[in-house]
Amino acid sequence: MKKFLVAFTAMLVAAPSGHAAERIKIGFASTLSGPSASLGVDIRDAFMLAIKMNGGKLGGLPAEVLIGDDQFKPEVGRQLAEKFVKLDKVDFLTGFVFSNIMLASVPIAFENKVIYVSSNAAPSPLAGKQCNPYFFAVSWPNDAYHEAAGEHATQKGYKSAYLIAPNYQAGKDSLAGFKRFYKGRIAAEVYTNLGQLDYSAELAQVRAAKPDALYIFLPGGMGINFIKQFGAAGLARDIQLITPGFSSDQDIIRPVGEAMLGISDTAHWALDLDNAANRKFVAAFEQEYKRLPSLFASQGYDAALLIDAAVRALNGKLDDPEATRRALRAAKFDSVRGAFKFNRNQYPIQNYYLRVVAKDAQGRLVNKTVGTVFRDHGDAYVQNCAMN
Amino acid sequence: MSWVLLFEQSLNGLQFGLMLFLLAAGLTLVFGIMDMINLAHGSLYMLGAFFAAALVEATGSFLAGVLLAVPATALAGMMLERALLRRLYARDHLSQVLATFALILVLNETVRIVWGSDRPLALPAALSGPVELLSGLFYPSYRLLIIAVGLAVALLLHLLVGYTRLGMWVRAGAANREMALAMGVNIGTLFTAVFGIGAALCAVAGALLAPLLAVQVGMGENILIVAFVVIVIGGIGSIRGAFVGALLVGAVDTMGRTLLPIALGAFLPPQFASAAGPALASVAIYVLMAGVLFFKPQGLFPARA
């Protein structure tokens, strides 16, 4: 018996490489509780929907998804990543919403040659100098929406723009992204408290400054507060409010309501993008979850499609990280955003669209695509990336 | 900065201060009379906002929804007091903080299960735009309503505490609990009533602010910290202190956000001014608190003389 056990173990250890795995294991860690939960929940729901529509498989292998809640805490995210990578030996890691949590958590995956497929956070450090072979962003570079908003404001000929963001690093980065492509005059650049509730003082100053356009980067509840108060102040008649796509998406439209009408925003995806994959996704998501998908949902769905395509191309052989990486870079899948390819830093090159909040045929508030701001747009950091 | 803008900012400060007062009044009474630190006070504010959002939708009328949200929240508050919080009065502050922090988590998840993580609530159409107060001064009409209601509630509370029997008990309880008990005040009923009043005031603030703020799970936690600053400045247990403290905090916060960057810009290079302005503005109310405590360690209007 003992002999048999030893032989059996030896057989397992020495299992020849190149055999197709029997199943694929995904570690999905995201923010699933607390005030910011709706983003992670949308990513998870869409990711699971894609697998369900695929008959419970990814790349032909039965998929097992381990789901964990990072509770909006970097240290919890790190523990989850460690468990998924070291204990559960997942084949891919994905899910994180917030850059700070993702950056704290994924090094453990990199060290163990597990690929992280980012379904949202795509911060500039990992695009440039610290670009990493085990990091793939299937979403959009953190700066991209702000750059597109700046470009849109330039194209539209707004003579002056007033900028508001919270007083922290991401706030400053966002306005820097806007200014990189905006050629008009900056009326003012105002930094507010993180988590601020009342914006009456800022709105009074905006009214006095009379800018053509107002660009805000106020994620989550801050944006909801601001847009509601912007509406109450009656400023929408004279000043065009522009936001990054995630500040005007379904998860913001729901709590704000009618005050959203007419807001312009920029994103790489929209509910009404006219391609077969997107129509199929939107219909399936609405049927499954009885709500409209947000752009976060579209990213979760695409993350699953990307993994599916790569694993299919590998014929289910998951034991060579380098081969997996090449397969991901070359993966061909019908992204719900339309044309999509990876840059050499494994960040996307894609189109960015201008959207306007309006009512659809059923009277619901949704984003309507009205134009293309950037075609095949990459990021500003790729030249610092030494990877090929 | 023009006079019109300065006047507008004063109104903004007043409006913010009055809403803070509604939150702080209940908090200071509970803290002052029951010697109870109730971190879940902000959750009652959240409940008020969610009740308002749900009831406005159910009744189809903004007025009816808001008016019903107040007794609904008061009732919820009194039930909480009867069922749970009164067991904590005799405990030390650490146990109270632990238990009421747990209550925040429980209430957050309960609200999420019942209503979801957020609810829409739009402004009533008649009050959705600005009005021209003076030539060139446009002010959101809804914020004017908030100021009016805030002042009316403050007056009502002043009359209630200053000129009724219940108010006398409340003042007696805040000044010296044991003595009030010895004089035959029914402390149990009084505590429940005080808690109900505190919850009702939270609901007024939550329901009134709901069209201007995000009605979402966790909305009570941010504002709770500012409410604590207010009652520490005003003096714990004092309604008048809460009123003065709230208006001070509202004014300092609003003016700090507007005037500090301009003032710094006058004698600092722009890149320093733009960095230091918002940073200083965000600590302005805490500097105010530290200053008040330095000169008056009991707050501006200590309830226990």
Give a yes or no: residue B191 inside a domain.
yes
Give the whole-angstrom CA distance, residue A94 versus residue A113: 14
Q: What is the mean pLDDT of residues B175-185?
A: 83
Give a yes or no: residue B211 inside a domain.
yes
Amino acid (1-letter code) at residue B290: A
Residue (of B196, B194, B198) closest to B177 by Cα position:
B194
Range from A149-163, A186-200, B225-239 that averages highest in pLDDT:
A149-163
**Residue A226's pLDDT band (boundaries 50, 70, 90)?**
very high
Residues of A in contact with B14 (CB under 8 A): none
Give the whole-angstrom CA distance, residue B104 versus residue B106: 6
Long-range (24+ apart) CB contacts under 8 A made by A102-107 are: A102/A77, A103/A74, A104/A74, A104/A75, A104/A77, A104/A78, A105/A29, A105/A70, A105/A74, A105/A77, A105/A78, A105/A80, A105/A81, A106/A81, A106/A135
- From the list B213, B217, B254, the residue facing A201 with the nearest CB is B254
Give a yes or no: residue A301 inside a domain.
yes
Residues of A in contact with B218 (CB under 8 A): 34-35, 221
Amino acid (1-letter code) at residue A239: I
Give a yes or no: residue A295 inside a domain.
yes
**The complex's ipTM?**
0.83
Give a yes or no: residue A221 inside a domain.
yes
Given a cut of 90, whether residue A270 has pLDDT beyond it is yes
At A15 the pLDDT is: 46
Residues of B in contact with A163 (CB under 8 A): none
Give the whole-angstrom CA distance, residue B41 versus residue B202: 8
Lowest mean pLDDT among A25-29, A287-291, B272-276: B272-276
Give the whole-angstrom CA distance, residue A59 versus residue A54: 9
Which residue range is the domain that position B147 belongs to? Answer: 3-217
Length of chain A: 388
For residue B52, the SS3 value is helix
At A220 the pLDDT is: 80
* Residues A36 and A134 grouped into a single domain: yes
Burial of residue A288, with CB atoms counted within 10 A of its CB: 0-12 exposed, 13-18 middle, 19 or more buried: middle
For residue B84, the SS3 value is coil
| Sequence-ordered alpha helix ranges (H) in chain B | 3-34, 41-59, 62-83, 93-115, 141-163, 165-175, 177-182, 187-209, 219-234, 239-267, 270-295
Domain count for chain B: 1
**Residue B304's pLDDT band (boundaries 50, 70, 90)?**
low
* Residues A159 and A186 grouped into a single domain: yes
Given a cut of 50, whether residue A214 has pLDDT beyond it is yes
Backbone angles phi, psi at A128, to 5 degrees: -105, -120
**Residue B237's pLDDT band (boundaries 50, 70, 90)?**
confident
Given a cut of 60, whether residue A47 has pLDDT beyond it is yes
* Residues A136 and A278 grouped into a single domain: yes
**Residue B279 touches chain A, beta carbons under 8 Å:** yes
Give a yes or no: residue A357 inside a domain.
no
* Residues A68 and A126 grouped into a single domain: yes
Give a yes or no: residue B272 inside a domain.
no
* Residues A118 and A169 grouped into a single domain: no
Length of chain B: 305
Given a cut of 70, whether residue A2 has pLDDT beyond it is no
Given a cut of 70, whether residue A8 has pLDDT beyond it is no
Looking at every residue in chain B, the average pLDDT score rounds to 90
**Residue B142's pLDDT band (boundaries 50, 70, 90)?**
very high
B130, containing H or E segment: strand B130-134
**Residue A53's pLDDT band (boundaries 50, 70, 90)?**
very high
Given a cut of 90, whether residue B137 has pLDDT beyond it is no
Contact A243, A262 (CB under 8 A): no
* Residues A324 and A247 grouped into a single domain: no
Q: What is the mean pLDDT of residues B45-72?
A: 95
CA of B269 vs chain A CAs: smallest distance (Å): 15
Contact A349, A127 (CB under 8 A): no
pLDDT > 90 in chain A, percent: 76
Contact A21, A62 (CB under 8 A): no
pLDDT digits (tens, 9 = 90+) for A191-204: 888 878 889 989 99
B134, containing H or E segment: strand B130-134
- From the list B2, B212, B257, the residue facing A228 with the nearest CB is B212
- From the list B122, B216, B217, the residue facing A259 with the nearest CB is B122
**Residue A12's pLDDT band (boundaries 50, 70, 90)?**
very low
Residue A197 and residue B222: Cβ atoms within 8 Å? Answer: yes
pLDDT > 70 in chain B, percent: 99
List the structure tokens of A122.
Answer: 């795509």
Give the whole-angstrom CA distance, residue A344 versus residue A385: 8
* Residues A166 and A230 grouped into a single domain: yes
Give the whole-angstrom CA distance, residue A315 versus residue A59: 8
pLDDT digits (tens, 9 = 90+) for B77-115: 999 999 999 899 889 999 999 999 999 999 998 998 899
Domain count for chain A: 2
* Residues A154 and A244 grouped into a single domain: yes
Contact A166, A194 (CB under 8 A): yes
Give a yes or no: residue A98 inside a domain.
yes
* Residues A290 and A202 grouped into a single domain: no
Residues 6+ apart with CB under 8 A from A120: A39, A43, A96, A97, A98, A102, A139, A296, A299
Residue of A226, A228, A357 for testing the chain B interface, max B β-carbons within 10 Å: A228
Give the whole-angstrom CA distance, residue B50 versus residue B45: 9
At A14 the pLDDT is: 46
**Residue A228 touches chain B, beta carbons under 8 Å:** yes
**Residue A3's pLDDT band (boundaries 50, 70, 90)?**
low
Question: Which of A248, A267, A286 is at the close of a domain?
Answer: A267
**Residue B136 touches chain A, beta carbons under 8 Å:** no
pLDDT digits (tens, 9 = 90+) for A14-28: 444 567 788 999 999
DSSP collapsed to 3 states, chain A: CHHHHHHHHHHHHCCCCCCCCCCEEEEEEECCCCCCHHHHHHHHHHHHHHHHHCCCEECCEEEEEEEEECCCCHHHHHHHHHHHHHHCCCCEEECCCCHHHHHHHCHHHHHCCCEEEECCCCCHHHCCCCCCCCEEECCCCCCHHHHHHHHHHHHHCCCEEEEEEECCHHHHHHHHHHHHHCCCEEEEEEEECCCCCCCHHHHHHHHHHCCCEEEECCCCHHHHHHHHHHHHCCHHHCCEEEEEHHHHCHHHHHHHHHHHCCCEEEECCCCCCCCHHHHHHHHHHHHHHCCCCCHHHHHHHHHHHHHHHHHHHCCCCCCCHHHHHHHHHHCCCCCCCCCEEECCCCCEEEEEEEEEEEECCCCCEEEEEEEEEEEEECCCCHHHCCCC
**Residue B150 touches chain A, beta carbons under 8 Å:** no
Residues 6+ apart with CB under 8 A from A24: A58, A59, A61, A62, A63, A64, A91, A92, A307, A311, A316, A318
Q: What is the mean pLDDT of residues B163-173?
A: 88
At B1 the pLDDT is: 59
pLDDT digits (tens, 9 = 90+) for B116-127: 878 888 888 888
Question: Which of A205, A240, A267 is at the close of a domain?
Answer: A267
At B247 the pLDDT is: 96
**Residue A222's pLDDT band (boundaries 50, 70, 90)?**
confident
Give the whole-angstrom CA distance, residue A350 versus residue A61: 29
Give the whole-angstrom CA distance, residue B196 versus residue B202: 10
At B50 the pLDDT is: 96
Residue A189 and residue B274: Cβ atoms within 8 Å? Answer: yes
Please, what sign has the CA dihedral across residues B168, B174, B180, B186? positive
DSSP collapsed to 3 states, B176-229: CHHHHHHCCCCHHHHHHHHHHHHHHHHHHHHHHHCCCCCEECCHHHHHHHHHHH
pLDDT > 90 in chain B, percent: 59
Residues of B in contact with A200 (CB under 8 A): 12, 15-16, 140, 143, 254
Looking at every residue in chain A, the average pLDDT score rounds to 91
CB atoms within 10 A of CB A125: 14
Give a yes or no: residue A381 inside a domain.
no
* Residues A153 and A223 grouped into a single domain: yes
Question: Which of A209, A237, A267 is at the close of a domain?
Answer: A267
Which residue range is the domain that position A88 belongs to? Answer: 23-140+274-350
Please, what sign has the CA dihedral across residues B262, B263, B267, B272? negative
- From the list B130, B211, B222, the residue facing A233 with the nearest CB is B130
List the structure tokens of A273.
Answer: 């993008």
* Residues A217 and A318 grouped into a single domain: no
Give a yes or no: residue B41 inside a domain.
yes
Q: What is the mean pLDDT of residues B260-278?
A: 78
Give a yes or no: residue A335 inside a domain.
yes
The CA-based angle A115-A118-A123, given to 5 degrees, is: 115
Given a cut of 90, whether residue A106 has pLDDT beyond it is yes
**Residue A64's pLDDT band (boundaries 50, 70, 90)?**
very high
Lowest mean pLDDT among A32-41, A215-224, A277-286, B19-28: A32-41
Given a cut of 60, whether residue A352 has pLDDT beyond it is yes
Residues of A in contact with B121 (CB under 8 A): 257
Distances (CA, A) of A227 to A210, B122, B245: 17, 11, 29
**Residue A259 touches chain B, beta carbons under 8 Å:** yes
Give a yes or no: residue A112 inside a domain.
yes
* Residues A228 and A152 grouped into a single domain: yes
Long-range (24+ apart) CB contacts under 8 A made by A187-190 are: A187/A160, A187/A161, A187/A162, A187/A211, A188/A162, A188/A163, A189/A163, A189/B274, A190/A162, A190/A163, A190/A164, A190/A165, A190/B261, A190/B278
Distance of CA A283 to the CA centre of its chain: 20
In this structure, what CATH number is given to the domain that contains residue A208? 3.40.50.2300
